[in-house]
Structure 1
């Protein structure tokens, strides 16, 4: 279990710090424009696709409550946590980084805007790491069922 907490912590710190560093670059003026994607600055006051933005400041407290609840439930499921420690580190690191943005900037700092072939929502590194972590969990579950 000790090794799993270290792997979780390493994933958490790596994703959290890298995301905050990238956001710092964006907040200090880094921009990029191409035919496929743009690096722009957008503050998302909701969750995915700005849903739940009507909750205002209550949203960040709701998210903190949900993170604490999920951590509590996850630690109680030791075997599941141990099998997926690094994926949970990525998910929690990205989620906590986005919550920190809500307290510091009033919304999540988003910056990647895909617009080649179709226009997609603006997102950030933390969002990608959350998706990758969830993808790893799903893939591992699907592969374990085939055995």
Structure 2
């Protein structure tokens, strides 16, 4: 368990710091760049994914902190879950807490990747990508586990 904890802390710190440094650059150093397919353009998201719940702008940071606290309590009570999912947990916490810090620091989440070739896509950031990656890893592991259990049940039958 110590190895998993050390690795998850390392992943968390690296992802969190990279995301915050890049966001600082966009928010304070005008790093905007326009490209033919994708642009790097500062935007603030006052809601959650695709700006949903923007009407909760001032309360979202507190709601999200409560959700992180509840998730942390769940992991403390279920260390086997953390041991199985320590990498996606680290990615999820790094991305989530980085976006929450933006809400306290900038008033909204700092976004900057803007895809606009063939279709316009929502503006997003590294933290969002890490959160999505964490969800994909969790789903992949769940599907894999389900298939293994199904095989085991077929062998027993």
Q: How does the TM-score come out when normalised to structure 1? A: 0.96
Q: Could you report, residue by residue, the CA deviation over 1:63-83 in whole angstroms, capped at 9, with x for unpaired residues? A: 101001011112222112101
Q: Is 1:58 matched up with 2:59?
A: yes
Structure 2 stretches lacking a partner, 5+ long: 149-157
Report the secondary structure of 1:143's partner residue: helix
Once residues 116 and 71 of structure 1 are traced to their aligned partners in structure 2, the CA distance between those partners, rounded to angstroms, is 39
Does residue 100 (structure 1) correspond to residue 105 (structure 2)? The answer is: no
Task: Give the C-alpha shift of residue 86 in structure 1.
Answer: 1.4
1:143 and 2:140 aligned: no
Stretches (4+) displaced over 2 A:
none
* C-alpha displacement of 1:5: 1.5
Query: Which segment drifts farther, 98-107 or 79-88?
Result: 79-88
Distance 1:17 1:56 in 2: 24
Q: How does 1:1-147 map to 2 (within 5 A)?
A: 1-27=1-27, 28-147=29-148
* Residues paired across the two proteins, number: 147
Task: Compute the RMSD of aligned alpha carbons.
Answer: 1.0
Partner Cα separation in structure 1 for residue 134 and residue 83 of structure 2 = 14
CA contact (8 A) 1:11 1:87 kept: no
State which structure, 1 or 2, has the greater radius of gyration over its C-alpha atoms: 2
What is the Cα deviation at residue 24 of structure 1?
Answer: 1.6
- TM-score with structure 2 length normalisation? 0.90
Deviations 1:61-118 (A, max 9, x none): 1110100101111222211210111110011000000000000100000000111111
